[in-house]
Amino acid sequence: QALLTAVNEIRPPTILATFAVIMSFIPMFFITGMMGPYMGPMAFNVPIAMLLSLVIAFTVTPWASYRLLKGDYGKDHGPEFKLQNTRGFKLYRAILAPLLQSNWRAGLFLGGVALAFVASAMMAVTRVVPLKLLPFDNKNELQLIIDMPKGNTLEATEQVASALGDYLATVNEVSSFQSYVGIASPMDFNGMVRHYYLRAGQNTGDIRIVLADKTRREQGSHAIALRMRSAIDRIEQQFGANIKIVEMPPGPPVLSTVVAEVYGPPQATYQDLIHVAKRVRNDLEATSGVVDVDDFVEAAHPQLHFMLDHTKAALLGISTANVAETLKLAIQGGDIGILHVANERQPLVIQLQLPRAARASAEDLLALSVKAANGQLVRLSELGQMQLEAGAQTIYHKNLQRVAYVTAEMAGRSPVEAILDMFDHLKQQPLPQGYTAELAGEGEWKITVDVFRDLGLAFGAAMVMIYILLVGQTGSLSVPLIMMIAIPLTVIGIMPGFWLINLFTSPVGGYATPVYFTATAMIGMIALAGIVVRNSIILIDFIEKIYRGHPDLSLADAIIEAGATRLNPIFLTAASAVLGSMMIVLDPIFSGLAWSFIFGIIASTLFSLVVIPVVYFLLNRSLPKQVQREE
């Protein structure tokens, strides 16, 4: 009979609380963009898990309780239990009674809570708590991208790669590495999005680094990259190279963490656009935490242009194609046949090309000969002259407009903060008239804004759905609002919690390593909307049951008794959720979700046990008891 009574007592609020959790996850079905596929499974799996847990709570749990407790039935358990004699009741009454007895104390307390909420929310706005799409993962590989000035020889690029290899051999966590000079390394998803697979030429290089397994090293791959950066910067300055440390992204890859798209007026030349892009690049380099700044502008480089005298060539019976083919064969080489060797499985290609010493200058090329129509050999110097001129630069377009790209990475700082700093800088020192720098292009900023926008909309939709659900169950417009007070109270725990973690986080390699408030942390906040409202639902439901069942009990006494009765179950539920989240803290990607759960549940539980009863009392104290019972 006790089991049946207990199940009947908590059945309505438990069902209501379960569906409140489900409602908080359903809007994740509608997250758009690249993060949609990541969020969709949560919107399906969590409701299924909650429904099954509800079934178990009303079937397996009562049955197991009956089987385990029936042996104690009828035994002497000592003095009769009285709630009023417990330490929990005395402590709870000592805290809550003064607030229920004095309007100014209650108002002062609620004002302090509201001020704490505003201050906590402002931590994200004022960048005290850094925002990021996803934190840095702990991968087993890194990548170095080498860019030398245009026109550098393959040997010069190989020298840089060799110096980097000598340094990497001294890093304990590096298991192996492989250098690619003049060609691209094997393509992966990140390289495809960042166009690394298109890199080729004697001034480009690529080093793939394999780290020791994450179980055998103390630091994550991001911390190792930060530690290596100072030594790599010295090698970069020594050889005049541009070396970027590329980390494998934990989520959707982007062109770069920070991308600026520079556009100009229609009448502007591409050189004018490049000049403004250089200004944007300098501004990014001066921004704190921004590293590996680069642009897509090809460096100015000279080229030789053979000016053919077409009249003289025509008189000798020499075509333009003959001259071009001769120069191409001498410089680039060409396949002229195949050699079959008896002990080789594959045929060997015979390639004809002048030695480097014989094609190192314009004079060497002009000494080449072309066969005339009469069979005589004519030197190229007799058919024209070499002219030194600036080489052509690649022109990029987007949306039918010319564009210059400037890219950068972040070290120890959120890209959101860097972009906001750039916005402030461009307001103070705007670009020339007609030029714009779009900072929300192909970088992580764009995806971060879109994801947090969609998550914010999902959070708002969840609030509306939970409110409608509670109104339908309670038949009141005000009581659901009281129940939902627990939701914003989570912010008082989450934001200060992230701030405290970063307060005690040690820098690595001279760079900060903050714990970011990420998209997964925002998912945790959305999930908490349904979880923490459970305490409010059960608490208010029990307040009204006690108040209806004891006509001589005042509302204040009913509130204190209900809260003290539910104190242990609420604390045990919160403790189990916190302990269940502890293991997720170890995961680099979902640690933000775990910290949101831990800090949000702790703060909401502690505050809701006081704030919700006080607000409920203030709104209902003047109502006649009969009206109160009906509501």
What local confidence, expressed as pLDDT, does residue 49 receive?
92
What local confidence, expressed as pLDDT, does residue 207 receive?
94
CB atoms closer than 10 angstroms to residue 140: 15
Read off the tokens for 315.
Answer: 């008189």
What local confidence, expressed as pLDDT, does residue 390 receive?
80
What local confidence, expressed as pLDDT, does residue 624 receive?
56
What local confidence, expressed as pLDDT, does residue 631 receive?
44
- Tell me if 146 sits within 8 A of 161, measured CB to CB: yes
Q: What is the dihedral of CA 45, 46, 49, 55, to 10 degrees?
A: -130
CA-CA distance, 319 to 310, in Å (whole number)? 8
What local confidence, expressed as pLDDT, does residue 168 receive?
94
The ranges of the chain with pLDDT < 50 are 627-631
What local confidence, expressed as pLDDT, does residue 520 receive?
82
What local confidence, expressed as pLDDT, does residue 232 receive?
93
Q: Express each pLDDT in 332-376 by its tens digit.
A: 888 888 988 888 888 888 988 888 888 888 888 888 888 888 888
What local confidence, expressed as pLDDT, does residue 94 receive?
92
The residues pairing with 290 across neighbouring beta strands, listed in sequence order, are: 410
- Residue labelled with tokens 């060497």: 364
* Residue 362 burial (10 A CB sphere; 0-12, 13-18, 19+): middle
Q: Is 378 left (phi over 0), alpha (psi -120 to 50) or beta?
A: beta
DSSP string, 471-502: HHHH--SSHHHHHTTHHHHHHHHHHHHHHHHH
Q: What does each C-alpha distance from 581 to 136, 594, 596, 599 come to in angstroms?
A: 20, 5, 9, 10
Q: Quick one: DSSP state of residue 319?
A: -
CA-CA distance, 558 to 543, in Å (whole number)? 6
**pTM for the complete prediction?**
0.73
What local confidence, expressed as pLDDT, does residue 234 receive?
93
